[in-house]
């Protein structure tokens, strides 16, 4: 399968790892909807589902299809040399969304998501090697699972930038210290890795606790916190049931508008001079 026929030369590519060991923080939701927004801005986007739960894969293709995929058609193949003999083309699936492709995952990835990633030798770098070999995509989004095991570690070592979705409440901000620690450790093996920013996600402005925590996050992390805030909005859920990013399924919704705004803000941070200003080399301090 030739993926993008009009691309012969390597392009400058940005790989963004979306991480937080907190479950339900909005990692998959961010990746899913941002992929559509980036595509609408003219980018060729590869989404890598690095989560054995396969949430984002199911968002694009439905659960029955994703569960039926053989390991060699999923990210699991990268961790298993015998299954990766056919090369990347078996893994990269065209999605129903124009300009968006997906490396899916399902439960076959679980066995490779070991909890002590730094002891895994060359297995730590399989995603990095895979991404480096791709010439067709401008943007790669890696959706990580809610832990800091091998899959997330591979994501951090493969990425240029890391984004951390954070629901602005106590449970949402718990565990940020270990996330930042993992980023700092990853930077020793992947010196180009920069902190793209913290994304306030699932925000409900009616809640005092959300307003308070959003302020607290901005006080603690300053410009690392992205200006765009993603609200809790039913349009995001409805879009997924349509198997489409919200910018395509509900283009006039507030959710779509904010997703486009976020995509532009991310591009501004990763492109040109503003990247130097905003992208932090070191992981920021944790929430006190
Ligand atoms: N902004 C939002 N508005 C409404 N619902 C949301 C929003 N963000 C996430 N959700 C819902 O919350 C749930 C968890 O979101 P999501 O799967 O994106 O989180 P996650 O961080 O990827 O979770 P996990 O850690 O399990 O991978 C989903 O049911 C999703 O539809
Ligand atoms: Mg997820």
Per DSSP (E only), the strands in 157-269 are 161-166, 194-200
Predicted TM-score (pTM) of this structure: 0.93
Distances (CA, A) of 168 to 25, 108, 136, 202, 277: 10, 33, 36, 8, 25
pLDDT of residue 272: 56
Q: Which ligand is nearest to the CA of 210?
A: 1
Determine the distance separating the centroid of ligand 2 and the alpha carbon of 249, expressed in angstroms.
20
pLDDT of residue 284: 56
Query: How far is 127 from 130, CA to CA, in rounded Å?
Result: 5
- The CATH code of the domain that includes 114 is 3.40.50.300
Q: Return the residue whose CA atom lies nearest to atom 12 of ligand 1.
A: 24
- Asked if the structure places residue 288 within a domain, the reply is no
- Asked if the structure places residue 34 within a domain, the reply is yes
**What pLDDT, in 10s, does the model give residues 90-141?**
999 999 999 999 999 999 999 999 998 888 888 999 999 999 999 899 999 9
Question: What residues in the chain have per-residue pLDDT under 50?
Answer: 1-8, 10, 273-278, 285-288
Q: Which two tokens stand for residue 107?
A: 């439960």
Distances (CA, A) of 147 to 52, 132, 186, 252: 11, 24, 15, 35
Q: Look at residues 31, 80, 15 and name the one whose alpha carbon lies nearest to residue 262.
A: 31
The DSSP secondary structure of 64-111, one letter per residue, reads HHHHH--GGGSGGGGG-GGGGTT-GGGT-EE-SSTTEEEE---GGGGG
CB-facing half-sphere around the CA of 186: CA atoms within 13 A: 34
Sign of CA dihedral 211, 212, 213, 217: positive
pLDDT of residue 119: 85
Residue 238, judged by CB atoms within 10 A of its CB (0-12, 13-18, 19+), counts as middle
The boundaries of the domain holding residue 238 are 14-277
Ion ligand 2 — residues with CB < 5 Å:
27-28, 55
Residue 236: which H helix or E strand, with range?
Answer: helix 234-241
Q: Which residues form ligand 1's pocket by a CB distance below 6 Å?
A: 23-29, 51, 53, 55, 145-146, 201-202, 230, 232-233, 236-237
| Domain count along the chain | 1
Determine the distance separating the centroid of ligand 1 and the alpha carbon of 176, expressed in angstroms.
17
- Asked if the structure places residue 246 within a domain, the reply is yes
**The CA-based dihedral angle spanning residues 182, 184, 34, 235, taken in that order and rounded to the nearest 10 degrees:** 50
- Asked if the structure places residue 284 within a domain, the reply is no
- Asked if the structure places residue 9 within a domain, the reply is no
- Asked if the structure places residue 6 within a domain, the reply is no
Residue 2, judged by CB atoms within 10 A of its CB (0-12, 13-18, 19+), counts as exposed
- Asked if the structure places residue 287 within a domain, the reply is no
- Asked if the structure places residue 245 within a domain, the reply is yes
């Amino acid at each position: 399968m030739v993926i993008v026929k009009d691309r012969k030369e390597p392009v400058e590519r940005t790989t963004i790892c979306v991480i937080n060991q907190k479950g339900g923080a909005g990692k998959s939701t961010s990746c899913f909807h941002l992929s559509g927004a980036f595509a609408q801005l003219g980018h060729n986007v590869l989404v890598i589902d690095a989560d054995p739960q396969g949430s984002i894969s199911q968002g694009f293709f439905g659960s029955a299809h994703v569960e039926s995929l053989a390991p060699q058609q999923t990210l699991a193949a990268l961790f298993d040399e015998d299954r990766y003999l056919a090369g990347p083309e078996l893994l990269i699936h065209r999605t129903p969304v124009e300009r968006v492709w997906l490396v899916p995952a399902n439960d076959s990835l679980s066995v490779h998501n070991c909890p002590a990633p730094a002891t895994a030798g060359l297995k730590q770098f399989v995603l990095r090697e895979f991404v480096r070999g791709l010439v067709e995509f401008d943007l790669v989004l890696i959706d990580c699972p809610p832990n800091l095991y091998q899959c997330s570690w591979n994501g951090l070592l493969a990425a240029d930038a890391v984004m951390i979705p954070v629901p602005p409440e106590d449970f949402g901000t718990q565990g940020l210290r270990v996330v930042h620690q993992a980023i700092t450790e990853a930077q020793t093996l992947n010196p180009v890795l920069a902190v793209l920013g913290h994304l306030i996600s699932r925000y409900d402005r009616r809640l005092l606790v959300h307003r308070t925590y959003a302020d607290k996050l901005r006080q603690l992390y300053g410009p690392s916190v992205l200006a765009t805030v993603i609200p809790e909005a039913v349009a995001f859920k409805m879009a997924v049931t349509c198997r489409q990013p919200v910018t395509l399924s509900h283009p006039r919704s507030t959710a779509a508008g904010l997703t486009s705004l976020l995509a532009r803000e991310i591009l501004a941070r990763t492109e040109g001079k503003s990247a130097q200003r905003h992208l932090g080399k070191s992981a920021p301090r944790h929430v006190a």
